[in-house]
A = this chain, B = another copy of it.
Amino acid sequence: MSTQDEKQSQLTHLDEQGNIHMVDVTERPETMREAIAHAQVRMLPATTRSIEHNQVAKGSVLETAKIAGIMAAKQTPQLIPLCHPLPMTHIDLHFTLDSTQGIITIEGRTRTTYKTGVDVEALTAVTVAALTIYDMCKGVDTTITLEQAYIAQKSGGKSGTVTFKPEQRS
């Protein structure tokens, strides 16, 4: 059996015949699960300053993005077909503005005590927050891009704590 075939047989949402399926987590124990996702939105530095200025005064763009991200995390099983519904016990998002570079960094943290992890929920939260920033600023800046998004850390379950930085890719 080749390495490639081995990989394929492990694709957890595919059964032996290669059909999609939802992983059966019925018999798994409940453990405390956490995940941290990162995402970035790039825009003109002037746009970042507009957000920052407004943020101090009225808090609008990032506040709206934060609420959108939290609400989307709760909707994850309705968005991602093979995701299990789960009782999320915490969702938080934090934004950092770099108005010199024109970059907003979003960090999302999710927690639950359940049979499966909350990483897709964290990644959904930061991604929808980024989409919301795009939506609110596209009228003044046609150069906005969603940049790299990934799971920086997840813990709980049989894999223990896993940390990842994209720079580690060889």
* Interface residues in chain A, defined as those with a beta carbon under 8 Å from any beta carbon in chain B: 3-4, 7-8, 10-14, 17-26, 32, 39, 42, 46-47, 49-50, 53-54, 57-61, 63-64, 66-68, 70-72, 74-75, 77-92, 111-115, 119-120, 123-124, 127-128, 131-132, 134-140, 142-151, 162, 164, 166, 168-169
> Given B47, B123, B135, which contacts A7 in the complex, CB threshold below 8 Å?
B47
Please state if A78 and B79 are interface contacts (CB–CB under 8 Å).
no
As for how many copies of this chain the complex holds, the number is 6
From DSSP, what is the main secondary structure of chain A's interface residues?
A: mixed
Please state if B136 and A13 are interface contacts (CB–CB under 8 Å).
yes
A166 CA to B146 CA, complexed, in Å: 10
Q: Across the interface, which residues of B come within 8 angstroms of A85, CB to CB?
A: 74, 87-88
Q: Across the interface, which residues of B come within 8 angstroms of A149, CB to CB?
A: 145-146
A10 CA to B47 CA, complexed, in Å: 10
> Given B10, B63, B71, B147, which contacts A63 in the complex, CB threshold below 8 Å?
B63
> Given B71, B87, B137, B140, which contacts A87 in the complex, CB threshold below 8 Å?
B87
A59 CA to B17 CA, complexed, in Å: 12
A80 CA to B87 CA, complexed, in Å: 16
Please state if A3 and B60 are interface contacts (CB–CB under 8 Å).
no
